[in-house]
Amino acid sequence: MRVGIYHNDVPASLPIVAQLKAELTHAGVPIDQESPEVVVSVGGDGTLLGAFHRYIGLGDQVRFVGLHTGHLGFYTDWLGSEVTELVQSLLSDNGQRVSYPILQMTTTTKTGETNRYLALNEATFKQPVGTLVADIYLGDQMFEGFRGDGVAVATPTGSTAYNKANGGAVLHPSLSAIQMSEIASINNRVFRTLGSPLVVPAGQKITVKPQIDKFLITCDQLEIFAQDVVSAEFEVADQKVHFAPYRHLNFWKRVQNAFISESLG
């Protein structure tokens, strides 16, 4: 097995990374930063998002493991004090995986150029200053004219992040779907939106067509200050993200730990 290590530069993480490298080397496990089969993310959820974008291009070859060095994260199952136990789990690995749907966003420019992005959590379409004016399509049909701060489109695992703050529902990752939530929409006698989160299954698209010149698009941690984008399509990607299930908690247990109490149950 080839193992890659992706980490932040927080002082608490660096000794753990050094220990992990030493124990992997001692156990005879190759460390491969270019073409790993398992990527160990050392840090927090933000670090794992970075690992996802660094290695998701490897497709089904790669699986992720999260080791947190601060507060317990939603994607990180191992403590910084459990490096030895994690290495032992890697040594007994049998290729099992837990797979979650991810989001594909495709932007089109005025010249017809298209760009494809993948998101583990969510993508957003926003106007940080002023009002975003955009037409929202479901499939090929115009659904609503939006005015407000923006819209967020989340994966099931990302439904616990920005989407939840927008009043969206928490979706179980066994559901192959994406969810659009509104960010401070304007609703009055002149302008009207659905005003509720919208869940779209795999095989259907949400398309945002801006009616203004300048706006911000985000894809997880990536920010795109766009001026020439005429549309963005959001859909469930054909590809999935895979985690090594050595200690991969039940999804609802993760939600309980993250938002209610680790001591319950």
Residue 77 a catalytic site member:
no
Q: Is 28 left (phi over 0), alpha (psi -120 to 50) or beta?
A: left
What is the rounded CA–CA span in Å between residue 166 and residue 92? Answer: 42
Alpha helices in the chain, H assignment, sequence order = 14-26, 45-55, 83-91, 162-165, 251-259
Active-site pick, 9, 45, 149, 220: 45
Q: Give the SS3 label for residue 155.
A: coil
**Helices 14-26 and 83-91, interaxial angle, to 10°?**
40
**Could you give the C-alpha distances from 145 to 139, 149, 209, 231, in angstroms and in order?**
15, 13, 10, 14
Q: In which element (H, E) is residue 244 found?
A: none
What's at 81, amino acid-wise? S
Mind telling me the catalytic residues?
Answer: 45
